[in-house]
Each structure stands twice: as structure tokens, then as C-alpha cells.
Amino acid sequence: MKIAIVILNWNGQKLLEKFLPSVVNFSSQEADIYIADNASSDTSIEYVKEFYPSVKIIKNITNGGYAKGYNDALKSVDADIYCLLNSDVEVTENWLQPIIEVFKNDEKTAIIQPKLLDYKDKTKFEYAGAGGGFVDLYGYPYCRGRVFNHLETDSNQFNDSIEIFWASGACLFIRSDVYHKVGGLDEDYFAHQEEIDLCWRTHNIGYQTKYVGESKVYHVGGATLQETNPQKTFLNFRNSLLNIIKNVPKKWFLFLVFSRLLLDGIAGVKFILELRPIHTLAILKAHISFYKNFFKFLRKRKKLPKKENYNLHTSIVWQYFILGRKKFNQLK
């Protein structure tokens, strides 16, 4: 089984200096390592060539964000399994073996995520994927170990291997044939939640996404866009709505669209009360972009298969903000 670890880079020399050594030290025996560079203007590529000559370089012509960056780069990568790895991730010894075993033993598993812990506090789960992702009744993503902004302490409660709904783009393994079968990442997302769309489309053609807790990595998170950046708010709110248009089964479609627009409005009011009106403006811009893209995504929707049995079992908004349930195991 041929593995390719592909790290997307954009002016990230400092991150490569800090985190590439762990990838080379703990992965080079089992995998080929690539840097996919999104038209950087710093000296990061020269740095890699000088200090890590075994690492292969793919130069993208433009900075098309996460989605286009990987789509362009993976056209020239020959492997059975792609690992899409953020440049701000520290991997650990033997992190690849448990994941390779699952791929070898389960043909229906197309996507895998390891345990994602916080590099800044290694006792905590990390926001971007924690112990594996799910989607609630209204299309809001959440994770085992992370509901909204509440991060749980890792006490080995998620050391298992289970089927999940989505895997974090911070460290996402996918069979190469499935990646290309579903058309790769949707470049209209640019960044944020495009991995949820990818997992959703993969699920809809009959494959599984799994979390493998025996493998763990540490993620800085927010190295490209900080949580306080309104652009991150814009992308998360808009792309979550685009996921609904594109992937939700017909019987839930109108209910979810109108419910989410209402709940997003409430979130905008909350930001104003918190004296963060710039994020309210970001939500308004997200909705304007959503309306502009509505019919384009309806056309995409018509070309995709749908499945009725995805995870619509709870509202994390209700449970988190009204009932005060902060931990995954408290959710009903």
C-alpha cells in the first residue's frame, strides 16, 4: 500500500522548520512526503530543498486555497492513500501503522482521521477535529471532544476506532481512487468545511469515514486564520450553508435552510452583544455569498447521489446553549 503525505504550504517556512522534522522522522519509512506549495513568496521551498532533499516539491501556479491547492497537487501524486496534512501538525512515532491496518482490513473505509490533540496544550483535544466529527440536525459540525468552543481533556475516552461522519482536513487520509471518483475537494469553498463536504459525498456513495484513536497527532490550529479573524467566521458560516444545499436529503432541505438562516441571525445578535460586530458583518457577508451561490450549488446538488440515513439525531445549539451540555458524552 503506497502512502503519500502531502503538506500544503503557503509562505510557511517557520511552520515547516518546526513541524516537518517530525513528519520526516516518523513517516519516511512508510510514506513518500510531498510539499505542495501554493505560489509562496518566501524562501520555504529553498529551505526544504536544502535541509530535506528527500521531500518532493510540487509547485502550484496560484494560491487557490486549501481545496484547489490539493486538487492541483494531487494530480501528480502516485499513491494508493493520500494523507492531507496541515503544515502546523506534529506527528508521533508509529502514527501511520494503525491507520494503514484499517485501510488494509476494511475496503469500505475510504477516509480516516487520527486523534487530534492541541499542540499548545497536549492534554486537550484540538478544535479542528478532536475525536472525530459529526453533523447535527441543523447542519452544525461538532466533534467527540469538542462541542462549539468547549475542548475536553484527553483522558483516553476516545482511544477507540469508530465510524464518524467527517474527518478533519488538518490530517485526513483518503483512498486516492475515491478522492478522484467523487471529484476531489470543491474549490468553491476555498477553505474551511470543504473536508465535511468531501466526507459527505463519500458517505453518499457508500463508503465510510473512520476515526482511529490509536494514532495521534498534535495540531496548532489557527496558524493560517485565527479564531478572531472575521474571514474565518465568513467561511465557516457560508460553507456550512453550502454543505446543506449540496448534500442534505430532499425531505430535510427547506426545513434546514430556513432554520439555519434564522439561527445564524441569532448568532449575529450574540456577536453584537459580545461587542464583536465585525463578526456579525461577516455573517451578513456569508449570507450574501450564500444567496449568490444558491443556484450554482443547486445544480451541483442535482448531479450528486443522496442518502437518507445521515446523522440527524440532535441539536447541539439547544443542548449546548440551553441545556448546558458541553461534553460529547452528555449529548442526547
Q: What is the pLDDT of residue 250?
A: 84
H-type alpha helices, 222-330? 230-247, 253-273, 277-302, 316-317
Examine the pLDDT at 98 and tell me if it is beyond 60: yes
Q: Which pLDDT tens digit goes with each residue over 10-60?
A: 999 999 999 999 999 999 999 999 999 999 999 999 999 999 999 999 999
Q: What is the pLDDT of residue 73?
A: 97
% of the chain surpassing 90 pLDDT: 85
> In this structure, are residues 89 and 114 in contact, taking their beta carbons and an 8 Å threshold?
no
Mean pLDDT value of segment 118-137: 95
Instruction: Cell numbers for 265, please give them.
Output: 441571525
Under the banding of pLDDT at 50, 70 and 90, the label for residue 252 is confident
Mean pLDDT value of segment 86-103: 97
Q: What is the pLDDT of residue 224?
A: 54
Q: How far apart are CA 46 and CA 51, in angstroms?
A: 9
With a CB cutoff of 8 Å and minimum separation 6, the contacts of 72 are 36, 60, 61, 64
- 3-class secondary structure, 208: strand
Examine the pLDDT at 301 and tell me if it is beyond 60: yes
Q: What is the pLDDT of residue 251?
A: 82
Q: Which pLDDT tens digit goes with each residue over 253-271?
A: 898 899 999 999 999 999 9
Q: Which range, of 70-74, 176-180, 228-232, averages the lowest pLDDT? A: 228-232
Q: Which pLDDT tens digit goes with each residue over 205-250?
A: 999 999 999 999 999 986 555 667 899 999 999 999 999 999 888 8
7, containing H or E segment: strand 3-9
Smallest Cα–Cα separation from 315: which of 106, 137, 115, 172?
Answer: 137
Instruction: Cell numbers for 197, please give them.
Output: 463536504
pTM: 0.94
Arithmetic mean of pLDDT over the chain: 93
Mean pLDDT value of segment 101-107: 97
Q: How far apart are CA 174 and CA 113, in angstroms?
A: 9
Give the fold, CATH level 3, of 3-219: Spore Coat Polysaccharide Biosynthesis Protein SpsA; Chain A (3.90.550)
Q: What is the pLDDT of residue 222?
A: 64
For the sheet with 133-135, list strands across it: 133-135, 141-143, 146-147, 150-151
Mean pLDDT value of segment 58-85: 96
Q: What is the pLDDT of residue 307?
A: 64
Residues of the chain with CATH 3.90.550.10: 3-219
DSSP annotation of 249: -
Examine the pLDDT at 139 and tell me if it is beyond 90: no
